[in-house]
Structure 1
């Protein structure tokens, strides 16, 4: 399988031949053109993962090539090949939509690395588009977003279990999407026409827990002026989701266990058991086996719930999904706040170093702040900024000063800063710095 379909445009035939040979050895499918007009006539942008073009060519400039492909396929990455004197032009082109630029003469391995990132971005954009086109959000992939193998396995397990009338225990850290999975098990199965009743066991006071769960008869206690159907019975034909089940008081776990085992409930103030037709899905952020061994959770309830267990991975164990999730959250936030949408939202640099203890929920908050301009680059008191923000500002200022002192020469500036030239170019693009002409 090809690592990506690349179009390489340069009026120097020798460079085209060398690029085709090296990129081919590294697993890319390459089509080269020495005439940019011919390339624009023959290339279908929807069949390409990245375009590499020289900036200065006799027929058309690389910027004109960029503009053509931007109109034809805005999400297609275009990489510019530049000489030293064209670096300011290339930086401006990146502000206008170019994916990256590489300064000649370049190292072949650096070209491969840039194209790896570019093709990944292209496929990410196509995955985002596919998810956005999911009709009414009905596809499971639009709810449980992710391109990592672990997410693909999780989706397959949900689809397999959705129509199997077995109780399920979902385990995972806070913010990983356990309720999303519970709802998917309900919506994609035969019980989708019934009620989905979510109960947060940590939020229901112990004094009213039995009444909430099992219902009560009129006069069962002071203030019970009428009969009330409990949540378990109300969910008839559907699903009961017991979230944070580790928070359920021990004294009540035995009663819930009986309801799960026998599928019957007895309302407070009555002696008549009533059958309930429900499926139970429970969720926990702790290890219930450890809790049961320690006597903090009933072992029999744990074993009853753990017939089938679905483990949801934390976000730090599927980092490849972060750009996709970030873009989906950012796009949704832009729509909600009435702000202009973009084809792709730049992921803040601080995201790469975060372990996301709040998982997907935390990433969503980060995306919303970025859309509102409250992330890196926002106008705020420097003393209140995070350490990564302050480091980034210092680095950008140091690079800007070095470029001024070097009269715009990235080679001289890189030497003074003790950086490889390509690293400096990447930082110039990342911070959106102007290179003095």
Structure 2
């Protein structure tokens, strides 16, 4: 089901706000309203709409002042200005400053529809298939990563997803599948670190009846079950050497032979993989095949930790609460501002997965409609007991440091290596160890005018 476009409507005329809101809802949009620029900015701190439609003349903060704040804090969000005091001067001023469109009251229905559709075509280029609807973000880092994923999705190549545990690698893999030509076929997930070697081999490649003790019927395995679609191999770094060899053979020959079978079967599946293990170090130590690594890691998408996308924390917490409200009966309606501030300030070593768990605990324990900071304090104190090991802490520091120097040098590896006090060869090894591509930072530079 396709998501409705969300419009934030801002006007200090409450009656017109209600009337125009009803008109937009009848057109099929989700509409949020704010009676002032300050109220609109407060709402934007928690959510990101697809378009802002604002009055020009308002008490306190006018439409252009609101646009200026939005342009600085929410890059790329289109704003359309309305006014009953329309003039050539107003229109030129608004459009030169970067406002997407300018409408004069009384609002013409066709002009309104045309302007909104044109603005949404800019802000929602992928809305037609809604491939990324499960990934809630307004983080520039995540938006850039999603754009990279959108470009990779139609290409039938292997993608490796790296990043800390709980950062959302499975969701990104599903988004890649949804944006690909394979979206009408199965998307299957197999955790390579959650079972014995024999059972994992059976789950991967299948078996025939009697292939081993307990095999009482044929089993196709995920390579054949996902035919035409996508297969995500989670924790691929946990594969044993023998299964690494067998997986490499299956990928190279595009066929598998189930355990106990006499003939092989052709496969047709796009393989995605994920890991939070340092596979470059594993290769150097002879624990992971280099040829398999490069076959799986044709493209690497490295997901940030939740701290690196801290602006998403209130958004994710509120979305998690809404999801819980649809699945279970609860009196909880929201978070207090202090509670949201506490969530935003937390460290989140377990990343998005940990945040979702904390919200679920808070909803289960809440005795009032609004979640208070005192409740979260106890839950977060318990979460802090899960202290990272020295190696985990060092790896996280290295990863954050590398991202920082690449941002500072806009992806220039020579300059970044100089800042880090390393030669280029060592610096490239560090990037490979953490699955980081310097080129993604070069793409973020604004084009010259």
Aligned to 1:183: 174
Aligned to 2:220: 229
Gaps of 5+ in 1: 8-38, 48-70, 80-111, 389-437
The 3-state SS of whatever aligns with 2:193 is coil
The 5 Å alignment of 1:71-220 reads: 73=34, 77-78=38-39, 139-220=130-211
The 3-state SS of whatever aligns with 1:270 is coil
**Count of aligned residue pairs for this structure pair:** 288
Cα drift, residue 385 of structure 1 = 8.8
The 5 Å alignment of 1:59-70 reads: none
Report the TM-score, using the length of structure 1 for normalisation: 0.56
The 5 Å alignment of 1:27-66 reads: 40=13
Distance, in Å, in 1 between the alignment partners of 2:364 and 2:322 is 12
Cα drift, residue 160 of structure 1 = 1.5
Contact 1:146–1:152 (CA under 8 A) maintained in structure 2: yes
- 1:306-351: per-residue Cα shift (whole Å, max 9, x none)? 1111111111111111121121112222333333575876343432
- Larger RCO of the pair (alpha carbons < 8 Å, separation 6+): 1
Contact 1:168–1:309 (CA under 8 A) maintained in structure 2: yes
Cα 1:258–1:387, aligned 2, differ >3 Å: closer, same or farther? closer
Report the TM-score, using the length of structure 2 for normalisation: 0.55
- 1:22-69: per-residue Cα shift (whole Å, max 9, x none)? xxxxxxxxxxxxxxxxx658986999xxxxxxxxxxxxxxxxxxxxxx
Q: Is 2:302 the partner of 1:314?
A: no
Contact 1:196–1:238 (CA under 8 A) maintained in structure 2: yes
Contact 1:315–1:322 (CA under 8 A) maintained in structure 2: yes
Which of the residues 350, 353, 366 maps onto 1:358?
Answer: 350
Cα 1:77–1:224, aligned 2, differ >3 Å: closer, same or farther? same
Cα drift, residue 116 of structure 1 = 6.9
Cα 1:6–1:383, aligned 2, differ >3 Å: closer, same or farther? closer
Aligned to 2:328: 337
- 1:283-304: per-residue Cα shift (whole Å, max 9, x none)? 0012211211122211111111
Gaps of 5+ in 2: 1-8, 21-31, 41-64, 80-119, 384-449
Cα 1:46–1:325, aligned 2, differ >3 Å: closer, same or farther? farther
Aligned to 1:368: 360
Cα 1:196–1:371, aligned 2, differ >3 Å: closer, same or farther? same
Cα drift, residue 150 of structure 1 = 1.4
The 3-state SS of whatever aligns with 1:303 is helix
Q: Is 2:279 the partner of 1:303?
A: no
Distance, in Å, in 2 between the alignment partners of 1:387 and 1:368 is 14
- The structure that has the greater radius of gyration is 1
Aligned to 2:237: 246
Aligned to 1:263: 254
Aligned to 1:348: 340
- How big is the alpha-carbon RMSD for the aligned residues of Structure 1 and Structure 2? 4.3
Cα 1:45–1:120, aligned 2, differ >3 Å: closer, same or farther? farther
- 1:213-262: per-residue Cα shift (whole Å, max 9, x none)? 21223332333333321221111111111001111112211001111121
Cα drift, residue 77 of structure 1 = 4.5
Distance, in Å, in 2 between the alignment partners of 1:217 and 1:259 is 18
Distance, in Å, in 2 between the alignment partners of 1:196 and 1:384 is 35
Distance, in Å, in 1 between the alignment partners of 2:164 and 2:301 is 12
Cα drift, residue 372 of structure 1 = 4.2
The 3-state SS of whatever aligns with 1:170 is strand
Which of the residues 261, 285, 288 maps onto 2:276?
Answer: 285
Cα 1:324–1:383, aligned 2, differ >3 Å: closer, same or farther? closer
Distance, in Å, in 2 between the alignment partners of 1:384 and 1:147 is 26
Cα drift, residue 142 of structure 1 = 2.4
Contact 2:255–2:267 (CA under 8 A) maintained in structure 1: yes
